Structure 1
Amino acid sequence: MTALIPRPRGEPAPGAVHVPGWLDEAAQRDLVAACREWARPLAGMRRTRLPGGGVMSVRTVCLGWHWEPYRYVREVDGEPVKPLPDWLADLGERAVRDAYPGTETCRETCRDESAHIEGADGYRPDIALVNFYDDAARMGLHQDRDERGRAPVVSFSLGDTGVFRLGNTESRGRPWTDVPLESGDLLVFGGPARMAYHGITKILPGTGPRDIGLTGGRLNITLRVSGLDAG
């Protein structure tokens, strides 16, 4: 469905690119169906327990590598992590190309070194984190720092709108920018924004489309490059 007032592509911070409606409804339906399969046991969706004893409010299933605080492993409760399918990695590659057009030549021609996005050339993710947010779920401000390298992070949003807070690289305090991420939106952050603190401050119930197979809540698929030995 076409928005009444089109939302423009935006750059909430240097290196961060927001592309509204990047996924059409057919692609969203396919991703929701895939997420349902990935969520099933074994090595399925679960709440992550933090070292201090707290439990995250989002539910997560990982592909390729499993994230546990604060490292990546290949097994979950003795079961192998589900593989990251090639078609999803291909989608991540296309997202990075669309977010940073001309990156391949910028490395050689840009005078401003911050304009080059580390890891965008030949981008190939090997991790997917699939997070489900119900109406009450949140994600506190954090950095994605468990990867070896600083290739961009790719994020696809499905279902209800989530308010994404993109902060600075020094602390969880201000300055920050809040970006509503609607179903089908693409967000990529790399380069100067790669180590920015970020999180989800709230979910807006009832704002998701009715035709993608998700009756409530928000799914977020985050793609990353681990930099770990594939063996």
Structure 2
Amino acid sequence: MTDPIDALIPRPLRELAPGAVHLPDWLDLGRQRELVALCRTWASGPVPMRAVTMPNGGVMSVKSVSLGWHWLPYRYSRTADDAGGGAVAPFPEVLRTLGRDAVTAAYGPEAGASYEPDAALVNYYDDAAKMGMHQDREERVNAPVVSLSLGTACVFRFGNTETRNRPWQDVELRSGDLFVFGGPSRFAYHGVLRTMPGTAPPGIGFEGRLNITVRQTGLG
């Protein structure tokens, strides 16, 4: 649980790099609970949440479920080719609206109105899970990526567009936080170093961390 004294200190909007915007406490607790309930539904199918196997044989420590387009390492598909071949669930209208609202909050109403998300990836982190530094490059357009955090806080590392190495910045993402990256920062390397057990808000309804990323693929 977050320190009560720390909770009294406002966390202002912060631009880590051009186009990379952290908006703390963007979702209130009621909206967070609604999204947790939706994530439970999405995780149950038609393609269930699973740990992704990478081309080198390694298995990711997070578990994932895709919506709209099924994400496989380095490509998208309409079918879960690595998980039984079933058709991926449609992209939910609630995430389309939320994605546009998020881009509006980060960049303004003109950017939000032109945002056309069509895919989402829901990742679940237990206490031991993490995510290595990577770029989101499977999309055919450079529209912003919208990232929503639920549950346990994490240490998120946001780097540069050229290399997995420095320079980078580490930021704590808590339940309800929004992070949007686009423009010059759209293809920046980023990852999750660790989760912070015991930091989820009371009554969130689960243990661990959920991360919802909303994307515009440009696949049509």
Give TM-score, length-normalised by structure 2.
Answer: 0.94
Q: Shift in Å at residue 200 of structure 1?
A: 0.3
Hey, what's the Cα distance between the residues in 2 that align with 1:25 and 1:139?
A: 25
Q: Counterparts in 2 of 1:185-196, with a 5 A limit?
A: 185-196=177-188
Hey, what's the Cα distance between the residues in 1 that align with 2:143 and 2:57?
A: 31
Match for residue 133 of structure 2 among 134, 141, 147? 141
Hey, what's the Cα distance between the residues in 1 that align with 2:203 and 2:190?
A: 29
Contact map agreement 2:101 2:112 (CA 8 A) in 1: no
Tell whether 2:68 aligns with 1:64.
Answer: yes
The residue type equivalent to 1:101 in the other structure is G
Match for residue 164 of structure 2 among 148, 163, 172? 172
Match for residue 30 of structure 2 among 23, 26, 38? 26
Match for residue 46 of structure 2 among 42, 46, 70? 42
Tell whether 2:198 aligns with 1:227.
Answer: no
Q: Find the counterpart in structure 2 of residue 110 from structure 1.
A: none
SS at match of 2:61: strand
Cα deviation, 1:12-32, whole Å, max 9, x if unaligned, reads 111001000000011000000
SS at match of 1:27: helix
Hey, what's the Cα distance between the residues in 2 that align with 1:161 and 1:87?
A: 24
Q: Percent identity?
A: 61
Q: Find the counterpart in structure 1 of residue 59 from structure 2.
A: 55
Match for residue 88 of structure 1 among 82, 90, 95? 95
Give TM-score, length-normalised by structure 1.
Answer: 0.89
SS at match of 2:60: strand
Hey, what's the Cα distance between the residues in 1 that align with 2:133 and 2:151?
A: 21
Q: Find the counterpart in structure 2 of residue 7 from structure 1.
A: 11
Q: Shift in Å at residue 41 of structure 1?
A: 3.4
Q: Which runs of 5 or more residues in structure 1 are unaligned?
A: 105-118
Tell me the matched-pair count: 213
Q: Shift in Å at residue 121 of structure 1?
A: 5.1
Hey, what's the Cα distance between the residues in 2 that align with 1:187 and 1:37?
A: 24
Hey, what's the Cα distance between the residues in 1 that align with 2:173 and 2:31?
A: 16
Q: Which runs of 5 or more residues in structure 2 are unaligned?
A: none
Return structure 1 stretches of 4+ with deviation > 6 angstroms.
none
Hey, what's the Cα distance between the residues in 1 that align with 2:185 and 2:115?
A: 17
Hey, what's the Cα distance between the residues in 1 that align with 2:155 and 2:91?
A: 27
Contact map agreement 1:120 1:151 (CA 8 A) in 2: no
Q: Find the counterpart in structure 1 of residue 105 from structure 2.
A: 98
SS at match of 1:195: coil
Structure 1 vs Structure 2 CA RMSD: 1.4
